[in-house]
Amino acid sequence: MLWDFVKKYYIDSIVYKQGYNPVNTMTWAVILVIAAILIYKVLRKKIDFDEKFIVGNVPFILLGSSVRVAEDAGFLQPPLSYFFMTPLIYVIIFCIAFPTLLLSIRLRGEKYWLHYSIPGLALSGVVLAILFAKLEVVNAWILPTSLLLAAAFSAAYKFITSKLYRPMSNSLSCFVFFSHMVDGWATFFGVTFLGYWELHVLPRFLISAFGPWIMIPTKVFVFAAILYVLDSSKDDEKLINFVKFVLVVLGLAPGLRDSLRMTFQV
């Protein structure tokens, strides 16, 4: 019975690409929280979780997204391909990024983020080059349109919050908002125009109940509320910024993956 439970709710969702279910969603969420706490405890005395930290991590986020698309395209075969699906792809990227980060901090001090980003840029560049060389660009408009609309909404967010509640208009909050707008618009375009479907439980329910358009206002209101809570908090600023970094990863990684996947229609 235990094996049947594990197979149904964890293994089959990966092997047969069935998407998320309530059981594995809660499990991965708990694991994410525990992992984030451990990472924060290791890094909090070494660096500030500021804009430079976010910028240094963006190439590794892009690496994870592009490798995920390579798996979508069938470049990797089972059982190897299973390690490059969510959630295991996060573990793979972490095993590359975290030692690189620690080494960069040790060798370069405050300028760590520049040197930390270089391996991520190089690796993601290689993967993207392979994708563009091997696959046909079918929907070239997806990625730039998602990024432009996300930037426009983020500019509106910054303008409105600067007038109504200035603490929310900081650059990290704007980047969180931008990341989830990329994800929201990519989801909207994929489900509405290209026949894709949503993997996550709650968005899948909302889309089935209201239609794909619901993703945009949902993202706006949910993350405006989350950022209000974070930017109103009196907790340690480093902790707040680290939470924002986690939110950036959770928005930008699937947003870029979905946009790239739909670009090649795989």
pLDDT in tens, 38-61: 999 999 989 989 999 999 999 999
Report the distance separating Cα 38 and Cα 236, nearest Å: 16
The predicted pLDDT at position 58 comes to 97
Lowest mean pLDDT among 86-90, 122-126, 152-156: 86-90
The predicted pLDDT at position 19 comes to 80
Q: What is the mean pLDDT of residues 177-195?
A: 96
Considering 13-22, 61-70, 103-112, the range whose residues carry the highest mean pLDDT is 61-70
Structure tokens at 109: 């001090």
Query: Model-level pTM?
Result: 0.94
Alpha helices in 1-87 (DSSP H): 2-6, 12-15, 22-43, 51-72
Report the distance separating Cα 61 and Cα 67, nearest Å: 10
Structure tokens at 82: 């299973």
| pLDDT-derived band at 14, boundaries 50, 70, 90 | confident
User: Does residue 235 carry a pLDDT above 90?
Assistant: no
Residue type, 82: Y
The predicted pLDDT at position 2 comes to 85
User: Does residue 97 carry a pLDDT above 90?
Assistant: yes
Report the distance separating Cα 219 and Cα 202, nearest Å: 12
Q: What is the mean pLDDT of residues 23-47?
A: 94
Cβ contact 116:56 at 8 Å: yes
- With left for phi above 0 and alpha for psi between -120 and 50, is residue 196 left, alpha or beta? beta
- Residue 235 or 152, more confident: 152
Structure tokens at 260: 């790239």
User: Mean pLDDT for the chain?
Assistant: 94
| pLDDT-derived band at 109, boundaries 50, 70, 90 | confident
The SS3 of residue 126 is: helix
The predicted pLDDT at position 132 comes to 97
The predicted pLDDT at position 222 comes to 97
Cβ contact 146:182 at 8 Å: yes
User: Does residue 179 carry a pLDDT above 90?
Assistant: yes
Q: What is the mean pLDDT of residues 227-254?
A: 95
Residue type, 184: G
